[in-house]
Amino acid sequence: MKRPSRFLLAVDRLPLFLLTGISVAATLLLTLMPGDAAPDIPLFPHADKVAHFLMFGSVACAALWDWGRRAGCITRRLWLAVALTVSLFGGLIELAQSAMPYGRSGDWADWLADMAGAFFLPLMLWRVIRRFVDVYNFHLLTYGDCQSVPQWVKSLYFGAFPPEERRDWADLVSKLADGASPVSITMIFSRMRPVGFITWWRLGNVVYVEHFAVDPAMRGGGIGARAIKSFVDSVGLPVVLEVEPADTGDMALRRIGFYERCGFTAHPSHPYLQPSYSPGLPSVPLMLMTAGAPETIDLPEITRRLHTTVYGVRP
């Protein structure tokens, strides 16, 4: 599964509107300093117009990214609002320059360069900015050899699953730390905050989701659906999981409906019993649901693999 780059994650940890503030401050400094204090560096004809294009384009890009992080996405309407605001900012600076008695003067051509940068540089970098915003608002990180399981995973694990539906914690930690184990964990992040996890097994040509949980405070906002859909798309193999049968209550019906909306198919006619995780705990009648490549899914074979590999039950 593809992870977001460390550069993207590091940049996305910056405080909200920090880049906008820095770019605005730098623009004010460079455009309003006394004329005799500004460096006179000969470059090429109309180099100052290129500098205006880049300065105000950078302000617009920073503002678009920051507002996108706050709103959860970037849109053409947001781009237009940012571009118009930055263009107005450039016009006010030109007016201020014309009123300064320190060797500065306003220039309509400079303002046109400001507006061109505000409108067109964000469009030129649209995919990069959108990628930043997407990573900030939602991303998955998968570990096949997680040497240190965060405490928040343990707390959510024990809070989301009853004893008969969860593995002994020490056993789970040892399996996740073993690089040769077929068990992996995918952690779910939203706005750089951990909000859930998926523990899963690679069983030959199929992936089994053993546990999937989202922080209760984040439920209802679409994070869970986005996470499981992204996970299924990323693994590139058929995915199977267990749910309570529909006749066990309203919660089971809602859970089945959730997975069906995420592309899973229920198999109520296939008899399935989840073996006990440890002595003294009961077996649990459950139902299998699958997603992806239905023609390759062999439910009896999947049941055998689950019982022998995941639960350690002899055939």
Range scoring the smallest mean pLDDT among 9-13, 31-35, 124-128, 159-163: 9-13
Specify the length of the chain in residues.
315
pLDDT at 192: 79
pLDDT number for residue 165: 86
**Domain 138-310 belongs in CATH node 3.40.630.30:** yes
Average pLDDT over residues 109-131: 94
Q: How far is CA 38 from the centre of its chain?
A: 43
pLDDT: which is higher, 72 or 184: 184
User: pLDDT per residue over 234-257, tens digit each?
Assistant: 998 999 999 999 998 899 999 999
Place of tokens 């995780």: 277
178/184 Cα distance (integer angstroms): 9
**Residue 10 above 60 pLDDT?**
yes
DSSP 3-state assignment of 99? helix
Question: Which amino acid is residue 21, in one-letter code?
Answer: G
Q: Which of the residue ranges 2-11, 73-82, 89-98, 192-201 would you say has the lowest mean pLDDT?
A: 2-11
79-90 per-position pLDDT tens digit:
999 999 999 999
Round the average pLDDT of the chain to a whole number and report it: 88
Instruction: Please enumerate in sequence order all residues whose Cβ is within 8 A of that of 80, keeping only pairs 6 or more positions apart, or say none.
Output: none
131: how many CB neighbours lie within 10 A of its CB?
A: 14
110, 49 contact by CB (below 8 A): yes
Residues 248-287 have pLDDT tens digits of 889 999 999 999 999 999 999 999 999 988 777 788 899 9
Residue 245 tokens read as 């049968």
- pLDDT at 42 (0 to 100): 55
CA angle, 165 as apex, 141 and 284 as ends, to 5°?
Answer: 135
Q: Are residues 86 and 23 in contact, defined by beta-carbon separation less than 8 angstroms?
A: no
C-alpha–C-alpha distance, residues 70 and 297, integer Å: 42
Give percent above pLDDT 70 in the chain. Answer: 90
| 145-197 pLDDT tens trace | 777 888 999 999 999 998 888 899 999 999 999 888 899 999 999 887 899 99
CB 239 within 8 A of CB 203: no
* Domain ranges, ordered by start, for the chain: 6-136, 138-310
pTM over 0.95: no
Q: pLDDT value at position 219? A: 79
> From start to end of 144-263, where are the E strands?
183-190, 193-203, 206-214, 239-243
pLDDT at residue 146, rounded to an integer: 76
Distance CA 199, CA 18 (A): 36
